[in-house]
Amino acid sequence: MILCVNPNSAVDKTVVVENYRLNAIHRPSIELVLPGGKGVNVARVAKALGQPAVVAGWVGGHAGQFIEDGLQAEGIHTAFIHTVVESRECFSVLDPVNGTLTEVYEKGRPVAPQELEAFYSLFQERLPQAAMVTLSGSLPPGVPANFYARLICMARAANVPSALDTSGEALRSGLEEGCPDLLKCNRAELSGLVGKPLETLNDVRGAIHDLAGHKCARVVITLGETGAIAADGERTWLAQAPKIAAVSAVGSGDAFLAGLVCGLLDKKPFEEALRLAIAAGSANALQIGAGRLRAADVELLLEQVRVAAE
C-alpha cells in the first residue's frame, strides 16, 4: 500500500471553454468536478496501475465530504482528519482553441494545532501498513514548513521509504532535515531550491548531482514535454517523453510520481521505473482531469519512451 499524504485537499473544478476571454461571459462545453490535491492524483494513478493507495490529510465541511465520498466511490481508501473549516476549491479553465490553461487555486484554510497533532498520530498509526509514503503538494496555513521533514523522519524510523514532491521552504526543510529516499520536482522548483537559474540541461545535471547521494538517494527532475533527468549519486539517466497530442498537462507531474513509485514497488530496475513514470505522465496529459489516465494508453506509450544511462 502507498500512503499518499495530501495536506492541501481540494475540490478540483475544470471547465473547457473555447476562445476564453477576459471580461466575457462563457458557457463551458465540458465541466468536470473531482476530489483533488497532488496526493489524491498520485493515489488515483497508482490505483489505475494496480497499486492500492490510501490518501491521508485534512478535509472539512461540505467540500471535504465531497472529497472523501468521491475518493471512496473511486475505490480509493482515505485516512482524513476532519477539520472545522471548509476544504479549499481549485478552478481551471482549459481553452483548446488557443491552447491556454488558466488556474485559480485557493491557498487552503488554516489547520489548528490540535488537528496538526492528530494527523501526526494518524500517520504513525498508518505507517506499519505502508510499503512507501508519498508527500505531495503545498502546505495549508497553520502547517509548519518542517511538516514533511518530520513525516520523512517518522517513516525512516519505521523502515518505510519516502518520496517528496513539493516546493519552497517545505522542499528545503524536507531535504535538509528529512533526507527522503526519492526527490521528484520540476526544473523551476529545483531552481528555487538551489537559488540560481537552470537554463540548460547541463545546469540541471550539475544541480541534481549535488543533491543525489547527499540529500537523498535518488533525484528525478521532470522537464515537461521533453521528459526527465534522474541521478542516484553514481549514475545519471535521461528519459525522453513520446510525442503526443496533449489535452491537459494538469496532474502529469503527479502521474509521473505515481508511475515511478509503482515501478519501484514492483521491483523494476530504476531505468524501467523511470520509463513507467514517463508513460504515466504522458497518458495523464491525454485526458481532462488530473490522474484520469487509461492503463491502455500507458502500455502503448511505454514502448515509445526512451531512457538512456549517461
Q: Where are the domains of the chain?
A: 2-309
Cα gap 93→16, rounded to integer Å = 6
pLDDT at 149: 97
Q: What class does CATH assign to 2-309?
A: alpha beta
Name the E strands within the chain: 2-6, 10-16, 30-36, 53-60, 77-83, 88-95, 100-105, 132-136, 162-165, 182-186, 218-222, 227-231, 236-240, 306-309
Whether 53 and 43 have beta carbons less than 8 Å apart is answered as yes
Reported confidence tier of residue 9, pLDDT bands at 50, 70, 90: very high
Cα gap 162→246, rounded to integer Å = 30
Catalytic residue from among 165, 181, 232, 254: 254
The yes-or-no verdict on residue 43 having pLDDT over 80 is yes
Cα gap 225→211, rounded to integer Å = 23
pLDDT at 135: 98
pLDDT at 208: 87
CA–CA distances in Å: residue 89 to residues 2, 109, 164, 237, 298: 25, 10, 23, 37, 29
Whether 282 and 226 have beta carbons less than 8 Å apart is answered as no
Q: Is 181 a catalytic residue?
A: no
User: What's the grid cell of residue 74?
Assistant: 473511486
Pairing of strands 88-95, 30-36: unpaired
Q: Helix or strand or coil: residue 237?
A: strand
Chain mean position to CA 147: 16
pLDDT digits (tens, 9 = 90+) for 241-271: 999 999 999 999 999 999 999 999 999 999 9
The yes-or-no verdict on residue 213 having pLDDT over 70 is no
Whether 230 and 269 have beta carbons less than 8 Å apart is answered as no
CA terminus-to-terminus distance, the chain: 33
Percent residues over pLDDT 70 in the chain: 99
Residue whose grid cell is 488556474? 103
User: What's the grid cell of residue 25?
Assistant: 461571459
pLDDT at 215: 65
The yes-or-no verdict on residue 216 having pLDDT over 90 is no
0.75 cut: is pTM over it? Answer: yes
